[in-house]
Structure 1
Amino acid sequence: MKKFWLSNIAATGMLLLSAVVTAQQKNEFSVKQAVDYAMKNATQVKNALLDVKVQEQVNRQITAAAYPQVNASTGFTHYPNVAVQSLPNFIGPATYQVLIDEAVKNGAGNTITFPSGGFGNIQAQFGVPWTANVGVDVNQLLFDGQVFIGLMARGAVLDYYKKTAEVTQEQIKANVMKIYYQLVVGKSQLASLDANISRFEKLLNDTRQIYKNGFAEKLDVDKVMVQLNNIKTEKEKVVNSLSAGNSGLKFLLGMPQKEELVLSDTLSEAELKDNILNGTYDYKDRKEFQLLTVAEKLGSYNIRRYKLSKLPTVAAFGSYSKNAQRSAFNFFNKDEWFTTSLVGVKISMPLFDGFKKNALIQQSRYELQKTQNSITQLKQNIDYDVEQSRIKMTSVLLTMDNQKQNTELAEKVYNSTKLKYEQGLGNNQEIYNAQTELKVAQTNYYSSLYDAITAKIDWLKAAGKL
C-alpha cells in the first residue's frame, strides 16, 4: 500500500514537471519571423500603431464639429420662500384720484386730498413655489474657416501618424536583423571554438603520449594545457555573450524572457553578396522622406487655417421648450404647459485682435520653411548615407574575402605544423604560433562577416529598400 502511494506521488510529480516544461514556449524563428513577431509585439511599434488609432478618434471629433449639436434639458425648481419685492404703492394714488374726482369727504366733512407724506411702498411676491421646464436646443455650424481646413487635413494628419509608425517599424526591423545576425555569427564562432577545443584536446593527448615515451618535456604538456584552458575560457565568454544577446533580442521583440528563442537562419557569403549595390535609389522610398513630405503638406494647411480664421463664422440655432408653474408639485396632471420656441442665425466677425492672426500666419510660414529645409537636408543625408554605405559595403566584402582566405591558409598551416610535430620534425612553439594565428584569423573573419551583414542592412535602409 505504501509503495502504491509513493508511486502515485512520483507519477503526479512527473506530470507536474511535464506541465512546467510544456508551459515554457519554444519559438524557433527565421529572421523574417523574428521581424514579423516584433511588428506585433514590440512596445515601440504597438505604441506607434496606437497613435494612429488615437488620431482616428481625433479625426472623428473634428468631423463632429460639422454635424448638428443637439442637446435636451429638463429641470424642476422649488422655492420654499418665494422672493418678495418692495414696489412703490401704485394702488393708493389711483384710489385717491377716484375719491377726489367724486368729491368724497372724510369723516370730518373735509374733502379728501392726497396724503402729504406720500403713499409709501407695498410688498409683493412674484412667482409660484414650483416650476418645471423641458426643452431641446439645436446648433449647426454653417461656416468656420478653421473647421473647414481641419476637415480637409484629416487624411493628411492620419497619414502623418501612419508614416511615423512606419519609420518606427523600419528602425525596429533594422535593429532586429542586426542583433539576429550578430547571434548567428556568434554561433558560428562558437562552433569554431569547439573545433579548436577538439584539436587541442587531441594535441594534449598526443603530447602526453610523447611525454610518456620520453620525447617531450612536462613543460610541453603544461603549455598545451594552458592553451586548451584559454580556449575554453574564451568559449565560456562567447556563450555568455550569446545568452545576453538572446535576452536582448527577446526584449527588442517584446517576447517574455521565460520563453525560449531559437534562431533557425544561417548566414552565407553568397547571401551577403546577392542583390547589392545595383540600381538607383529614390528619395521617395525612404520612410523619413515620406514623413517630412506629409509634414510639409500639414504646414500648408496650417497657414490656410489661420488665414481663414479672419473670415466670419456663421452658425444657426434653434430652441423648443415647455415650462409650467404650479403652487404644488402636480406637473403630471392636465394643467397647461407653456411653449417657447425660437430659431436664429449668428454671425461672428473678428474685427481686431491685436494682429494675433497675422503673427500666427507668419509663424506658420516660418515653420513650413523649417520643414522644407529639413527635406533638403534629408536629401543630402540620404545621398551621404547611400554613398558611405556603398563604400563600406565594398570594403567589408573585400575584407571578408581576404579574412576567409587567411582563415583557410592559417588552418592549412596549423594542420601542416601539427603533422610535423606528430612526426617529430617540429616543436610545441610552432604549434602554439600556428594555433594563435588560426584563432586570430577566425576572429577577424567572423568580425568581417558581421560587418558585412550590418553594412548590407545599412545600405538597404539608406536606399529605402529594407
Structure 2
Amino acid sequence: MNKKHFILSLLLSLVASFSYAQTQPKGAVLTLKDALNFATTNNVAIKQAQLDEQGAEYKISETKGSGLPQLSGTGQLTVSPSVPTQLLPGEILGQPGTYIPVKFGQKYNANGGLELSQLIFSKSYFVGLEAAATTRDLYRLRTQMSQEDVIYNVSSAYLQALQTKEQFNTIEAQYNKLVQLEKILKLQYKNDFAKKVDVSRITVNKTNLESQRQSLAAAYEQRKNALKFFMGMPMDQEFELSDSTTLSNTTLPLTANANEIVAQRADYKALQTQKKLYGLNIENIKGKGFPTLAGFGQYAYQAQRQQFNLFDTSQPWFNTFVLGVKLNIPIFDGFQRKNQVRQAELEVKKTELTMQNLALGTQMGLDNALKQISTSQLAIENQERNVQLAQEVYATTNDLYKEGLSPLTELLDAEVALREAQTNLNNERLKYKIAQLDYVKARGELKNLIN
C-alpha cells in the first residue's frame, strides 16, 4: 500500500468510529405506555366525555325528582282602579223586571299561599326512569370509545414519530460520514491526492443528504407536535421517544371471526344501548296515551281592601285550603302519537343497519390487519437480509476504495443502496406496527396497551 492509500485508510477508519449521538437533543424519554397514560388523563375529548357521563347522573336525578312532591309558593297583588260591575236581577231587591248594577270586589286585592302536587301515576314517568339509567350506560360507553380513539391516535402518532426519528438517525449517520469524507478529500485535493470531480461528487451527495436531514428533522418535530396534541400536552414541553417501543405482545390468531369479536367492542355496545333508548322512546310516546293521575293541595290567604293597607293587622285575611286529585285522560291528539311512534321506529331500524355495517367493517378491519401483518413480516425479513447484504457490499466497497481498487462512485452508490435498504426496512417496520395497532383496534382491545 502506497503512502496515499495508507493516509486515506487511516482517515476513513477514524471516520468509521465517529458518533453522532452527541448532537442529539436531550430530554425526558417518553415510552408509548407513558404517552398513553398521560393522554387518558389529559386529553380534552376524554375530559368532555367524562363530563357528559357526569351530566347523565344529574339527568337521572332530575328525572327522579319529577316524581317527588312539588311544592311552590304563590303570591299576587292586583289593583283595580275601576272595580268590575255586574248586573243582578231586580227581583233580588224587590224591583222585578229590572237589572241593578253592582260592583263586586275591592280596589286592592292580595293573596299568597302554597301549592303542593304529587304525581300518583304516569306510565311516561316510569319509562323515563329506565331511559335515564340507560343513558348513563350510553355515556359510559362513549367515554370508553373516546379513550380508545385517543389510544389509537396517540399510538399511531407515536409510531410515526418514532419511524421518522429512526429514519433521521439513518440519514444523520450517513451525512456525518460524508461531512468527514468531504473534509478528507478536500485536504487530499490540496495535496494532489484526489481529483476535483471526487470532491464535487461528495459535496453533491452531502448537500442532498443535508436537505433530507432538514426535512426529516422538521417532520419529526411536526409529528411530535401531533403526538402532544393527541396527548393533551403543552406544545413547549420537550421529550424524546423511547427506541424500545413494541406491540409484539399482541396475540395474533390465525383467523378472526367478527361475530365473536364485535359484540365485545365498546362502539357496538353503544349502538345496542342506543337502540334500547330508541325502544324506550317508543314506549314513552305510547305511554303519553295512558291516563295520568296526580294529587294536589292549595293553602292560601287572601285580603281585599278599599285602601292600600294590606299590612293593617286590625283587618282580617281570609284563608282557603283545598285538597284534590286530577285525572287526565287523553282521547284524541290528531294522530300525533301515531306518527311520533313511526318516526321512532325508523330510528331503531337505522341503528340496526349501523350495527350490521359495523360488523362488516370489523370483519374487514380484522382481515386487512392480519393480511398486512403477514405481508409485513415477510417484507421485514426480506428487508433485513437486504440491509445485511447492502452493509456487506458497502464494507467491501469501502475496503476496496481505501486500497485504491474501487472508484469513489462505487462507494457512493453502495452508500445510497445501503441507505435505501435501511429506509425500506424502517418503512416496513412502521407498516407492521400500524397493522398490529389496527388489529388491536378491530378487536376492541386498545385499552390493553395501557394495562
Contact 1:28 1:263 in 2 (8 A): yes
Post-superposition shift, 1:289? 1.1
Q: Which residue of the partner structure matches residue 375 of structure 1?
A: 355
Look up the SS of the partner of 1:231 in the other structure: helix
Question: In the aligned structure 2, how far is the partner of 1:86 from the partner of 1:138?
Answer: 34
Matched, 1:432 2:412: yes
Post-superposition shift, 1:127? 2.3
Q: Which residue of the partner structure matches residue 39 of structure 1?
A: 40
Q: Which residue of the partner structure matches residue 64 of structure 2?
A: 63
Post-superposition shift, 1:206? 4.1
Question: In the aligned structure 1, how far is the partner of 2:73 from the partner of 2:86?
Answer: 37
**Mean Cα displacement is larger for which, 164-173 or 424-433?**
164-173
Post-superposition shift, 1:390? 0.6
Superposition map of 1:335-354 within 5 A? 335-354=315-334
Post-superposition shift, 1:84? 5.4
Q: Which residue of the partner structure matches residue 449 of structure 2?
A: none
Call closer, same or farther: CA 1:59–1:193 in 2, change over 3 Å: same
Question: In the aligned structure 2, how far is the partner of 1:177 from the partner of 1:367?
Answer: 35
Aligned length: 415
Q: Which residue of the partner structure matches residue 365 of structure 2?
A: 385
Q: Which residue of the partner structure matches residue 242 of structure 2?
A: 265
Q: Which residue of the partner structure matches residue 463 of structure 1?
A: 443
Q: Which residue of the partner structure matches residue 447 of structure 1?
A: 427
Question: In the aligned structure 2, how far is the partner of 1:422 from the partner of 1:367?
Answer: 77
Look up the SS of the partner of 2:263 in the other structure: helix
Superposition map of 1:22-421 within 5 A? 29-79=30-80, 81-83=81-83, 85=85, 87=87, 90=90, 94=94, 123-208=101-186, 210-212=188-190, 214-257=192-235, 259-267=236-244, 271-278=246-253, 282-328=261-307, 329-421=309-401
Question: In the aligned structure 2, how far is the partner of 1:274 from the partner of 1:49?
Answer: 30
Post-superposition shift, 1:205? 3.8
Post-superposition shift, 1:376? 2.5
Call closer, same or farther: CA 1:93–1:151 in 2, change over 3 Å: closer
Post-superposition shift, 1:88? 6.2
**Mean Cα displacement is larger for which, 448-457 or 128-137?**
128-137
Contact 1:88 1:122 in 2 (8 A): yes
Look up the SS of the partner of 2:77 in the other structure: strand
Look up the SS of the partner of 2:239 in the other structure: strand
Identity over the aligned pairs, expressed in percent? 28
Matched to 1:315, the amino acid is A
Look up the SS of the partner of 1:354 in the other structure: coil
Call closer, same or farther: CA 1:88–1:50 in 2, change over 3 Å: closer
Q: Which residue of the partner structure matches residue 16 of structure 1?
A: none
**Mean Cα displacement is larger for which, 309-318 or 210-219?**
210-219
Call closer, same or farther: CA 1:149–1:229 in 2, change over 3 Å: same
Q: Which residue of the partner structure matches residue 3 of structure 1?
A: none
Post-superposition shift, 1:92? 11
Contact 1:289 1:375 in 2 (8 A): yes
Question: In the aligned structure 2, how far is the partner of 1:88 from the partner of 1:205?
Answer: 123
Post-superposition shift, 1:452? 1.3
**Mean Cα displacement is larger for which, 443-452 or 26-35?**
26-35
Q: Write out per-residue CA displacement over residues 119-174 of structure 1, whole angstroms, 9 at most, x where no aligned residue.
A: 7x655433223322111111111112222101112111111122122212211210
Q: Which residue of the partner structure matches residue 13 of structure 1?
A: none
Question: In the aligned structure 2, how far is the partner of 1:35 from the partner of 1:167?
Answer: 15
Question: In the aligned structure 1, how far is the partner of 2:172 from the partner of 2:292?
Answer: 79
TM-score norm. by structure 2 comes to 0.85
Question: In the aligned structure 2, how far is the partner of 1:384 from the partner of 1:89?
Answer: 89
- Structure 2 residue runs of 5 or longer lacking an equivalent are 1-26, 447-451
- Structure 1 residue runs of 5 or longer lacking an equivalent are 1-25, 98-117
Question: In the aligned structure 2, how far is the partner of 1:359 from the partner of 1:90?
Answer: 57
Question: In the aligned structure 1, how far is the partner of 2:62 from the partner of 2:93?
Answer: 64
Contact 1:73 1:136 in 2 (8 A): yes
Question: In the aligned structure 2, how far is the partner of 1:381 from the partner of 1:32?
Answer: 28
Contact 1:82 1:126 in 2 (8 A): no
Contact 1:276 1:456 in 2 (8 A): no
Q: Which residue of the partner structure matches residue 10 of structure 1?
A: none
Contact 1:318 1:344 in 2 (8 A): yes
Q: CA RMSD in A?
A: 2.5
**Mean Cα displacement is larger for which, 199-208 or 41-50?**
199-208
Matched to 1:76, the amino acid is L
Question: In the aligned structure 2, how far is the partner of 1:153 from the partner of 1:216?
Answer: 85
Question: In the aligned structure 2, how far is the partner of 1:226 from the partner of 1:285?
Answer: 57
Post-superposition shift, 1:184? 1.5
Q: Write out per-residue CA displacement over residues 9-64 of structure 1, whole angstroms, 9 at most, x where no aligned residue.
A: xxxxxxxxxxxxxxxxx875322222232223323222222222233322222222
